[in-house]
Amino acid sequence: MNKLLLGIGMLLILSACDDNKQTADKSDAANNAAQQEITESTPQTSHAPVATDIDTEVVQARAVIKTFAGTLKGELQAGIKAGGAVTALEICNTKAPQIAEKVATEAGMQVSRVSLKNRNPDNAPNAWQKAVLEDFEIQQAAGADPATLEFSEIVEHDGSKEFRFMKAIPTGGVCLACHGESLAKEVRETITTLYPDDSATGFTLGDIRGSFVVTKRLH
């Protein structure tokens, strides 16, 4: 009888140990699952480069254009006041590139002007700029206000990313003295002297005279 009771006691002890082991195993499994869930839901630190925010670049490009256009406009208005359209033409020929270079250097961006009907051969558009200008023309023909027309993108170029921005230039009243359909004789003669291959005339009020261009190489 004692042996029987001892045997039953041993069985109960072994059964309890087995139950404890199963409970511990289940607890470990639950803990591991919870840990895995926490790990998967926790943002992981990444050392990959942060993507450039194109909206930030656009804001900077607009500021650069505003500075360039404002400075050039001031110079031209002073020139017109001092010596009329002829003086303005001479200022545009000599000072516009200097202003663009100064603004670009300070901003860390390249700024220029292009047109489908350019006056300065340096302002002839390249392939992508020409495509944008043509698209601006299509949008204006469809009823868009040229003062609102912009283009921006980031592309791979020469082994790095390049930000590109263009803003249309509407023909204003003051522009017609040098770019309109009817020009004074001395204005035509000055244009011929400064720009023998000029094609930037014949514009009317509100036409797209060209576009400002801003580019920036991104790292």
Chain centre distance of CA 32: 47
User: In the chain, how many domains are there?
Assistant: 1
* pLDDT, tens only, 138-163: 999 999 999 999 999 999 988 889 99
Which pTM does this prediction carry? 0.74
136, 115 Cβ separation under 8 angstroms: no
Q: What letter would DSSP give residue 44?
A: P
Residues 6+ apart with CB under 8 A from 207: 146, 170, 171
Please give the residue range of the domain that contains residue 114. 54-218
The confidence score (pLDDT) of residue 6 equals 39
40 pLDDT band (50/70/90 cuts)?
Answer: very low
